[in-house]
Amino acid sequence: MNVFLIGTGLIGGSFALDLKSVMKRARIFGIDQSEKHLDEALENGLIDERAEWEDLPKADFVYLAIPVDASLKVLPEILDLVKDDCLVTDAGSTKEQLCKTVEGHPKRRNYLAGHPIAGTEFSGPSAALHGLFRNKTNIICEVEKTAFKLQERALEVFNAIGMRIRYMDPASHDRHIAYVSHLSHISSFMLGKTVLEKEKNERDIFDLAGSGFASTVRLAKSSPAMWTPIFNQNKKNVLETLDEYISNLQQFRDLMENDNFEEVYNEMEKTNHIKDVLNGITQDEQLKLLENGK
């Protein structure tokens, strides 16, 4: 099977590593705007050889792992080039605009809209990890619009690398992901900004920051080039989550200002339930709770 990896960074590279471990006969070709990334991908064994756009007609499987704004332009071009029995899937964190972009494409049946709930705060081929996708959920949108045989091929690959599958419509996907992923990244970026603005001595930050701060601000190390287009494409849902988050912060501030620390305690105690949610249920079940408005 000829697998074309478009984007050889963390997600694309990790997918390649996992695929190589379970499908020995797969040959992986890499396409990337960055020559440095292609060099690293070859050196680290993520891809077997470089490829160009004109090579896409020989692909059996295309995995698109680039920023979501670039995907809007590139996905139709990929579908123009691939053969009729080639599967094209992606790893983008927003789905509604992308699905609308190709809804009338003659080869829409070749595309399976996907979003693996996996990643780290690092980027580039050197950040690729074997096993990144194991036991992670891959959200599939509009599965009914993909040719059945290509659905089967995708599920075979995703199951082989240990992923769980969850089906969702694109609008619901973008709304729920705004809460459980996009908001947490904004919170982390703004916490980092606040500390950098107020703690001018970087040595103090290094010496005084404990594990709690490090874990909370971890996502602020993520790539702005990847996350700015995500916030742009999911603007409506992200603004809604921000309004609710800001409202909760303001309420917490008012409680403190009014010396109502009994209610401060109660608010934190109620929120402690999040540990039961995250420790006691699977990733799939967490998404179901969101769908049901809990």
| Shared-domain flag, residues 10 and 145 | yes
The token duo for 36 is: 């440095």
Residue at 137: amino acid letter: T
Q: What is the pLDDT of residues 194-228, one digit of tens each?
A: 888 776 666 665 566 666 777 778 888 889 999 99
In the numeric block, the tokens 């509604």 are attached to 96
For the whole prediction, is pTM greater than 0.95?
Answer: no
Residue at 169: amino acid letter: D
Average predicted confidence (pLDDT) for the chain: 91
- List helix spans (H) across the chain: 10-22, 35-43, 68-81, 96-101, 148-160, 170-177, 183-198, 202-208, 211-216, 224-233, 235-257, 261-271, 273-280, 283-291
| Shared-domain flag, residues 179 and 33 | no
| Shared-domain flag, residues 103 and 245 | no
| Shared-domain flag, residues 100 and 220 | no
| Shared-domain flag, residues 211 and 270 | yes
Report the alpha-carbon distance of residue 133 to residue 118 in Å, rounded.
6
| Shared-domain flag, residues 7 and 121 | yes
The CATH number that applies at residue 251 is 1.10.3660.10
| Shared-domain flag, residues 201 and 164 | no
User: Which pLDDT score, from 0 to 100, does residue 290 have?
Assistant: 55
| Boundary (domain end) residue, out of 133, 168, 203 | 168
pLDDT less than 70: residues of the chain: 199-211, 277-278, 280-294
The CATH number that applies at residue 7 is 3.40.50.720
| Shared-domain flag, residues 179 and 99 | no
| Boundary (domain end) residue, out of 168, 203, 219 | 168
| Shared-domain flag, residues 45 and 155 | yes
Question: Going by DSSP bridges, is the β-strand pair 111-116/87-90 parallel, antiparallel, or unpaired?
Answer: parallel
| Boundary (domain end) residue, out of 140, 168, 196 | 168
| Shared-domain flag, residues 50 and 188 | no
Q: How many domains does the chain have?
A: 2
CB-based burial, 80-101: b 16+ in 10 Å, e otherwise: ebbeeebbbbbbbbbbbbbbee
User: Which pLDDT score, from 0 to 100, does residue 81 have?
Assistant: 98
User: Which pLDDT score, from 0 to 100, does residue 274 have?
Assistant: 76
Q: Residues for the chain: how many in total? A: 294
| Shared-domain flag, residues 23 and 163 | yes
Exposed/middle/buried for residue 233 (C-beta within 10 Å: 0-12, 13-18, 19+):
buried
Q: What is the pLDDT of residues 243-275, one digit of tens each?
A: 999 999 999 999 999 999 999 999 999 988 877
User: Which pLDDT score, from 0 to 100, does residue 116 have?
Assistant: 96
Instruction: Write out the residue range of the structural domain in which residue 66 sits.
Output: 2-168
User: Which pLDDT score, from 0 to 100, does residue 198 have?
Assistant: 73
Percent of the chain with pLDDT over 90: 78
| Shared-domain flag, residues 222 and 204 | yes
Could you give phi then psi for residue 44, rounded to 5 degrees?
Answer: -90, 5
User: Which pLDDT score, from 0 to 100, does residue 83 have?
Assistant: 98
